[in-house]
C-alpha cells in the first residue's frame, strides 16, 4: 500500500465543516490546536480522499 500524503488545508477545512464544529463555535484554528480533534479531522480528510477514488463498475448499474 502506498504511503498517503498528509491532508491539505482545504481537505482539513472540509473535514472541519463536515464535523459541524463551526456550529458549536470551534474555529478552524482552535480545532487544529487540539490534538485529538486534529487527528480526527486528518483521518476524516483521508477517508474522504479514499472515497473519491473508488472504482466505478458501470456493468453493475
Angle at the Cα of 13 from the Cα atoms of 10 and 50, rounded to 5 degrees: 65
What is the model's pLDDT at position 59?
64
For each successive 10 residues of the chain (61 residues), what is the average pLDDT?
Answer: 81 94 94 96 93 70 58
Angstrom distance (rounded) from CA 52 to CA 49: 5
Angstrom distance (rounded) from CA 39 to CA 41: 5
What is the model's pLDDT at position 53?
72
pTM of the model: 0.77
Amino acid at each position: 500500500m502506498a504511503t498517503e500524503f498528509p491532508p491539505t488545508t482545504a481537505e482539513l477545512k472540509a473535514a472541519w465543516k463536515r464535523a459541524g464544529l463551526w456550529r458549536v463555535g470551534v474555529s478552524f484554528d482552535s480545532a487544529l490546536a487540539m490534538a485529538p480533534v486534529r487527528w480526527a479531522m486528518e483521518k476524516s480528510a483521508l477517508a474522504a480522499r479514499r472515497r473519491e477514488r473508488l472504482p466505478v463498475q458501470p456493468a453493475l448499474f
